[in-house]
Amino acid sequence: MKVRKAVIPVAGLGTRFLPASKAIPKEMLTVVDRPTIQYIVEEVVASGIEQVILVTSAGKAAIENHFDYDFELDTVLARKNKQGLVDELRHVSNLIDVVSVRQKKPLGLGHAIWSARNVVGDEPFLVLLGDDLVQAETPCCKQMLNLFEELQSPIVAIQRVPLEETFQYGIIEGQAVRDRLTKVDHMIEKPAPGTTDSNMAIIGRYLLTPEIFDLLEKTTPGHGGEIQLTDALMALSNKRGMYAYEFEGTRYDAGDKLGYLKAIVAFAARHKTLGPAFCRYLKEVAAGL
């Protein structure tokens, strides 16, 4: 079955990014020349998806507005003959069909995805975390969609992390199928140091089948009263089988201060017009350290 929809949860509180995220959603913070969330929507568009479902909460209207058409701004810019800007803004509002649903309480990532169940319906779908950026030759989602055509099973994207960092991630244990592909046996949410020798960390890209919604409904709240996605993923893996895919590319956790800074440097260095001058500046800075 063709994957047509992508769910992007953006309803989190963003506490790691306070005070910057107090009045501005962290997904709206700028990386070079556009907000983080725009890169994520562009990845979805470049992967051939037809609809984005944003899971939002109070205070996140700026994200919906960003992808909306702004008649007043369009008219003022056109009157001032700023055609380049008019085109750019129209491009953003025409990127893809965007609908949004509300997560009424911040009850965790699992609950956020469950909130999209009526709009997703009975079909496989992608999930992209609103603050996880991936820089890749072939968009990470496209790589996963290609694999799904072959496997017809849920897939989670993973990256290898140093063992001393595994406690920050959901970790996969399983059997290697081939290069970059593992059949999932177990998943451990934020394992205590020394409790796993796997370094396969789940990142913010998932390709799920609709059975996940019933499983999320049955998942009892875990740490902090939150409905953990990992518990439902483990149940889905037992039911349908699941694969972990080591995507080709680099992931940046833009919801974390250091990850965000790294993303800015990486995206600026590769920027078509700004890149060369920025790289020269980086060399100057490095030489002066």
Interacting residues with ligand UTP (CB under 6 A): 9-17, 55, 103, 106-109, 111-112, 129-131, 255
Q: In the bound complex, which residue of the shown chain has the CB atom lying closest to ligand UTP?
A: 12
Provide the minimum distance between the beta carbon of 39 and ligand UTP in the complex, in angstroms, as a whole number: 13
Give the nearer residue to ligand UTP in terms of CB position, either 15 or 175: 15
Cβ neighbors of 57 (< 8 A, separation 6 or more) are 10, 11, 102, 103, 104, 106
Provide the minimum distance between the beta carbon of 27 and ligand UTP in the complex, in angstroms, as a whole number: 7
Distance in angstroms (rounded) separating the CA atoms of residues 243 and 95: 30
Provide the minimum distance between the beta carbon of 187 and ligand UTP in the complex, in angstroms, as a whole number: 16
Q: What are phi and psi of 285, to 5 degrees?
A: -65, -45
Provide the minimum distance between the beta carbon of 110 and ligand UTP in the complex, in angstroms, as a whole number: 8
How far is CA 84 from its chain centroid? 29
Provide the minimum distance between the beta carbon of 29 and ligand UTP in the complex, in angstroms, as a whole number: 12
Give the nearer residue to ligand UTP in terms of CB position, either 11 or 212: 11
Give the nearer residue to ligand UTP in terms of CB position, either 13 or 78: 13
Geometric angle at alpha carbon 69, from 66 and 74, rounded to 5°: 110
Q: Distance of CA 109 to CAs 10, 112, 287, Å?
A: 9, 5, 43
First to last CA, the chain: 54
Distance in angstroms (rounded) separating the CA atoms of residues 167 and 163: 8
Give the nearer residue to ligand UTP in terms of CB position, either 39 or 151: 39
Give the nearer residue to ligand UTP in terms of CB position, either 30 or 152: 30
